[in-house]
């Protein structure tokens, strides 16, 4: 039989019986807190960390320790929130300053967890039934603090720290063993938490890990973490005796320092140390949320609603019991050019197109020059050298000045046809609202390549703009490589301090064309044009043509004017493929003139009705 967790799994420092320089009585703590420079978060954090470290290393009764921490709770929350603002949402790789604040934040949560772990250990060793409420509170807050450390690592896409899951599993098991795991937690700091218990907090941590956090956007991770306080109640945590056939999706081993995994991936189980997670009710709830209609189709919340649906779909994929899609991958050590963002990719594809056109034009001019040179040589052979060059033969041709405008030997830069074409290109560039030409691409290292995409590494100190759900342009470099920008999206990230930033990129299309778009007559009077990408139809995988647009601006049902370098097409957006928060991708259908007139009138009628309501 496998060893079950015990108190030795909890990492705490030694507590000494010595005189304390810090008065741990709640009233004295309140006085000390009032003297802290809250306007200087760095100084306050330093002082609070020093106090917590001291308290955790002196002997105190469990009740006194918890009362002291309750008195410090608001100040602690203020400090960790101020630390978070210095690293959440930052570009990767993280700066040395951001890393410093991350280390401080993790150190604060660690000391906070230690305080509750010490109290829980002392209470469990005494085994006094009348102290069960305090014990439940101590274990809950200890798991909650470790959960915050887990969240912090996910927010910076860092691997889970060693021994963290070992402690979380041990705390839960010790509560379960004492029959405390499902008892409600009584705490003034949990007024906004629905039915808090040790089991619910344990499930929150596991569901956060199972949500594929490295596939979520910077803000989405914290949103999911907040939603799980409610959603965890829609899942079941089962012991081996409660598991029936097909009722569990995931499994966790209490005696291992590992996160829960999909049940189908485990070949052998040690039932006495395993706990099983059933997410079927939660999946059903998320599917129900996806069916809820948008009550205000023209409201500003339309785009946020689509991003909400996008998040629900990601979570259904993560928490569903079905097998996840996978592609075989092969290692690759080459470099690859990457542009990040819709505007940057749009500009580079357009620049690449213009460059290819110029090269083709230059080749045509060169071919014409060679052809004319050959013709001149052939004509030289027809000259009669026996005739007197002073003899003049009258012809029907008159001698007139040469018209320089008809000279066919222009240099490329002076070619009147090129000059005539240039204003048209400039007008198209202005019309399509192309971004500033400062956009560029960077070379990333390729770790492996699969049928669906790439795993890349950025090991430079310079910051990148990569983020989950961002559109990217991909161009392979080297000999025998084409000069085409493929279109992809960043699906996952992982940040390793001593290695760099890893990206998982899914290929959306083998190529794309640059277009601009604007709304037809409708709800917006000031119809601005936006740079977009047109993705071709791929019949082999039954993928219709689509366009990638900036997020927030369009929704299903909108009629757009698409400008493909002067070729105009009126379309209606028929389906939102995805909205990642960084871009929206739509399928569309053409609109003929009769439909266009009717569509515009319908839009006017709907808008008038909406404003009247």
User: Can you give the pLDDT at residue 308?
Assistant: 85
Instruction: Answer yes or no: is 401 within a domain.
Output: no
| Number of independent structural domains in the chain | 3
State mean pLDDT over 558-565: 90
Structure tokens belonging to residue 59? 């002997």
Residue scoring higher pLDDT (302 or 590)? 590
**Domain boundary residue among 319, 351, 378?**
319
**Residue 337 burial (CB < 10 Å; 0-12/13-18/19+)?**
middle
Q: Do 120 and 180 fall within a single domain? A: yes
Higher-pLDDT residue of 163, 581: 163
pLDDT grade for 507, boundaries at 50, 70 and 90: very high
Contacts of 412 (CB under 8 A, 6+ apart): 361, 362, 365, 418
Query: Domain ends where: 460, 491, 509?
Result: 509
Please count the other Cβ atoms lying within 10 Å of the Cβ belonging to residue 330.
8
What is the predicted pLDDT for the residue at 391?
A: 46
- Residue 400 lies inside a defined structural domain of this protein: no
Residue pair 556/524 in contact by the 8 Å Cβ criterion: no
Q: Give CA–CA dist 564/554, Å, rounded.
A: 18
pLDDT tier at 266 (50, 70, 90 boundaries)?
Answer: confident
Query: What are the tens digits of pLDDT across the range 200-227?
Result: 999 999 999 999 999 998 789 999 999 9
Mean pLDDT of 104-128: 91
Q: Are residues 441 and 579 in the same domain?
A: no
d(Cα 551, Cα 589) in Å, to the nearest integer? Answer: 20
User: Residues 282-288: what's their mean pLDDT?
Assistant: 93
pLDDT at 423 over 70: no
User: Does 424 fall in a domain?
Assistant: no
- Tell me, yes or no, whether 381 lies in a domain: no
Choose from 47-61, 317-331, 517-531 the range with maximum mean pLDDT. Answer: 47-61
Q: Is residue 592 assigned to a domain?
A: yes
Is pLDDT at 268 greater than 80 in this prediction? Answer: no
Q: Are 474 and 528 contained in the same domain?
A: no
State how far the alpha carbon of 268 is from the alpha carbons of 272, 308, 394, 552, in Å.
12, 38, 106, 48
Whether 495 and 597 map to the same domain: the answer is no
**Quick one: pLDDT at residue 338?**
92
Please give the pLDDT value at position 106: 96
**DSSP-assigned letter for residue 325:** P
- Tell me, yes or no, whether 503 and 518 share the same domain: no
Per-residue confidence at 139, pLDDT binned at 50, 70, 90?
A: very high
Are 522 and 498 members of one domain? no
Asked if residue 378 is part of any domain, the answer here is no
Residues 186 and 296 in one domain: yes
> Does the pLDDT at position 407 exceed 70?
no
Examine the domain organization and report whether 255 and 138 are in the same domain: yes
pTM above 0.95, yes or no: no
CATH of the domain at 467: 2.40.10.220
Query: Is pLDDT above 70 for 444?
Result: yes
In a domain, 383, yes or no: no
The least confident of 21-25, 160-164, 267-271, 604-608 is 604-608
Provide the domain limits for residue 125: 7-319
Domain co-membership, 12 together with 92: yes
Average pLDDT, the chain: 80
- Burial of 419 by CB count in 10 Å (0-12 exposed, 13-18 middle, 19+ buried)? exposed
Of 13-27, 191-205, 278-292, minimum mean pLDDT range: 13-27
How much is the average pLDDT of 503-522? Answer: 88
Q: Quick one: 493 and 521 in the same domain?
A: no
Is 57 part of any domain?
yes
Q: Are residues 171 and 285 in the same domain?
A: yes
Task: Read off the pLDDT of each residue in 129-139 and give the average, rounded to a whole number.
Answer: 83
Q: What is the pLDDT of residues 234-250, one digit of tens each?
A: 999 998 888 765 578 89
Q: Tell me what pLDDT residue 295 has.
A: 53
205 and 129 part of one domain: yes
pLDDT the model gives residue 581? 86
Question: What would the two tokens of residue 416 be?
Answer: 């009147």
Between 408 and 583, the more confident residue is: 583
Higher pLDDT, 5 or 217: 217
């Amino acid at each position: 039989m496998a060893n079950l967790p015990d108190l030795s799994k909890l990492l705490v420092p030694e507590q000494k019986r010595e005189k304390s320089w810090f008065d741990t009585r709640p009233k004295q703590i309140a006085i000390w807190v009032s003297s802290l420079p809250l306007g200087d978060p760095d100084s306050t954090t330093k002082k609070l960390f020093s106090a917590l470290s001291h308290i955790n290393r002196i002997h105190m009764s469990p009740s006194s320790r918890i009362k002291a921490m309750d008195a410090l709770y608001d100040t602690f929350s203020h400090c960790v929130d101020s630390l978070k603002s210095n690293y959440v949402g930052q570009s990767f790789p993280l700066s040395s300053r951001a890393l410093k604040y991350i280390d401080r934040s993790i150190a604060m949560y660690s000391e906070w967890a230690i305080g509750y772990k010490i109290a829980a250990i002392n209470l469990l060793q005494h085994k006094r039934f009348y102290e069960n409420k305090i014990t439940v509170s101590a274990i809950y807050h200890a798991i909650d603090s470790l959960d915050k450390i887990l969240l912090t690592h996910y927010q910076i896409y860092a691997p889970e720290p060693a021994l963290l899951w070992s402690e979380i599993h041990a705390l839960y098991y010790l509560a379960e063993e004492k029959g405390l795991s499902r008892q409600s937690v009584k705490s003034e700091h949990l007024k906004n938490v629905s039915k808090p218990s040790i089991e619910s907090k344990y499930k929150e941590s596991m569901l956060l890990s199972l949500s594929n956090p490295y596939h979520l956007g910077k803000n989405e991770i914290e949103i999911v973490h907040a939603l799980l306080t409610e959603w965890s109640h829609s899942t079941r945590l089962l012991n081996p005796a409660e598991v029936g056939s097909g009722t569990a999706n995931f499994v966790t081993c209490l005696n291992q320092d590992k996160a829960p995994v999909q049940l189908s991936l485990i070949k052998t189980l040690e039932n006495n140390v395993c706990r099983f997670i059933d997410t079927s009710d939660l999946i059903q709830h998320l599917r129900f949320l996806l069916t809820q209609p948008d009550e205000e189709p023209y409201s500003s919340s339309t785009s946020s609603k689509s991003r909400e649906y996008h998040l629900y779909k990601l979570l259904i994929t993560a928490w569903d019991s079905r097998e996840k899609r996978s592609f075989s991958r092969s290692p690759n050590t080459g470099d690859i050019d990457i542009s990040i963002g819709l505007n940057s990719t749009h500009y580079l594809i357009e620049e690449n197109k213009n460059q290819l056109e110029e090269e083709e034009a230059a080749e045509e001019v060169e071919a014409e020059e060679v052809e004319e040179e050959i013709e001149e040589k052939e004509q030289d052979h027809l000259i009669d050298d026996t005739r007197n060059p002073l003899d003049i033969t009258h012809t029907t041709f008159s001698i007139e000045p040469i018209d320089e405008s008809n000279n066919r030997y222009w240099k490329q830069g002076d070619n009147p046809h090129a000059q005539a074409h240039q204003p048209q290109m400039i007008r198209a560039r202005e019309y399509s609202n192309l971004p500033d030409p400062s956009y560029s691409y960077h070379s990333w290292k390729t770790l492996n390549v699969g049928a669906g995409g790439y795993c890349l590494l950025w090991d430079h100190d310079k910051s990148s703009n990569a983020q989950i759900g961002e559109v990217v342009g991909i161009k392979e470099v080297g000999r025998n490589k084409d000069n085409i920008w493929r279109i992809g999206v960043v699906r996952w990230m992982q940040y390793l301090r001593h290695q760099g930033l890893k990206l998982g990129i899914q290929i959306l299309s083998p190529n794309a064309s640059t277009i601009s778009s604007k709304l037809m007559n409708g709800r917006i009077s000031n119809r601005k044009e936006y740079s977009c990408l047109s993705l071709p139809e791929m019949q082999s995988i039954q993928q219709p043509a689509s366009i990638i647009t900036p997020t927030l601006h369009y929704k299903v049902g909108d009629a757009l004017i698409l400008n493909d370098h002067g070729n105009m097409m009126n379309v209606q957006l028929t389906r939102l493929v995805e909205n990642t928060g960084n871009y929206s991708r739509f399928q569309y259908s053409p609109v003929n003139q009769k439909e266009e007139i009717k569509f515009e009138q319908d839009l006017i009628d709907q808008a008038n009705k909406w404003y009247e309501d």
